[in-house]
Amino acid sequence: MPELPEVEVTRLSFAARIAGAQVLAVYLGKPLRWPLGCEPERLVGREVLRVRRRGKYLLLDLSPAGLLLIHLGMSGSVVFAHGLPPCGKHDHFELTTSLGSLRLNDPRRFGAVVYAQDQDDFVARKLLGRLGVEPLGDGFELAAFAQGLKARSSAIKQVLLGGELVVGVGNIYASEALFLAGIRPTVRASKISKVRAARLHAAVRQVLAEAVAKGGSTLRDFSNAQGEAGHFQLDANVYDRAALPCRVCEAPIRRIVQGQRSTFYCVNCQKP
C-alpha cells in the first residue's frame, strides 16, 4: 500500500508540471471506492492551481472553486504525461489538461477520486477530519506526541499505524522508526518514557524524510508520476528481513503479526 512517503514522492513528481493547467476533459472508468461526487463535465474549464498532500491524500486545488481528493488505495498509482496510450482496464480516472494527462491506475480499485467544494466541505471533512498531525510539518510537536502516547494503552506499533496521533506512519516506516528509537513494537504506548518518546519522535521524522529522499518504497509495483521506482526498501534495517542478521548486532531479525500486519524487530536492539 502506498504510504505517506510514496504519496509525497508522487506529489513532488508532478505538482510543478500540472500547476496552472486547464482541465479539458475527464474520463471515468470502473467505479472506485467512492463516487466522484459531481458530474465530470463540471470540472472541464477549471484550472489546477496547486497539488497539496494531507496524510495519504493528494489534494488538487481548482479555480474558480473546487477540490479533488485522490487516494491511491492498496495498489494505485498516478502518471502525468503527454500522449498517453488509450486507457486500459485498470485505468479508472483521467484528467486531461492543457499541460498533460493525469491518470489513476488501480488494479484493485480501493483508491478514490472525490470532488469537494473546498476543504471545509462535509465530504472533505469526513475523509480528512480525523487525521493526526503531519509528521514532517511544524505541527508535529514532541510534547503533544509524548502526551498522546501516555493516553493510549495499545501497543506502540498499532498506535503509530492508527493515524490519529500522527498521520502516515505506515507499516514499513513504523517498524523502521521503532528500530531507530530502540523500542520493542509490542510495548504499550502509555509505558513509554519521555526520553524514549523523544527518540521515537525524532526517528519518525528521520525515517519518513529518508524515505521521501529515496523515492519511497517499491515492494511490488509502486512508481511515481514519472514511472520511477523507490529505493528505501533496499536499505531497511528490519522490515522484510526476518531471520537475516541485524545490521547493528547481527542477531536474527524477528517477525511477528500485529493487527494482521507483519512486524519486524531486533530482540537485542529494541528493548521492551
Catalytic residue IDs: 2-3, 56, 261
Q: Which amino acid is at 84?
A: L
* Distance between CA atoms of residues 64 and 49, nearest Å: 9
Cβ burial 145-160 (10 Å sphere, 16+ → b, else e) = bbebbeebeebbbbbb
All residues at 6 or more sequence positions from 137 whose CB lies less than 8 Å from its CB, including other chains: none
Cα angle 90, 43, 73; round to 5: 35
* Distance between CA atoms of residues 113 and 39, nearest Å: 13
Q: Which amino acid is at 95?
A: L
Distances (CA, A) of 35 to 28, 103, 109: 10, 16, 12
A 10 A CB-CB count for 185 gives 23
